[in-house]
Amino acid sequence: MDYKKTQAPFTTMTRDLRDLDSVTGNVYESVVICSKRANQISMDIKLELNKKLEEFAYYTDNLEEIFENREQIEISKFYEKLPKPSLIALEEFYGGGIYFRKPEEEEK
């Protein structure tokens, strides 16, 4: 998924608990599903950011030399402005974009 084009809100919103448990039937189960998806999104974003910033890395032995690169600063600012991974996960959850299964029910 392209996290840059998500329609997730940038600020925290009040959520209705009845909407959260409508899919799974349990609020806590829904929260666990969303938190696991938020962790996945966070790792994806972090890997993507590190890959882009690696292009600007200088491997020198001198710590006093600090290079400021305007492109690197712009990339970092862009990723800081993205919605939080938890908000993206909740948006996916409400939109039906998260696949989850219950292994204990499959065994029966």
What does the domain layout of the chain look like in residue ranges? 18-98
Specify whether the CB–CB gap between 1 and 66 falls below 8 A.
no
Secondary structure (DSSP) of 28-42: HHHHHHHHHHHHHHH
In whole angstroms, give the CA distance from residue 87 to residue 7.
10
Instruction: Answer with the residue of higher pLDDT: 81 or 9.
Output: 81
Instruction: Answer with the residue of higher pLDDT: 8 or 32.
Output: 32
Whether 72 shows a pLDDT value over 90: the answer reads no
Secondary structure (DSSP) of 46-100: HHHHHHHHHTT----S-TT-----HHHHHHHHHHHTSPPHHHHHHHHHHHT----
Residue 36, both tokens: 């696991």
Reported pTM: 0.76
Of the segments 4-13, 61-70, 76-85, which one has the largest average pLDDT value?
A: 76-85
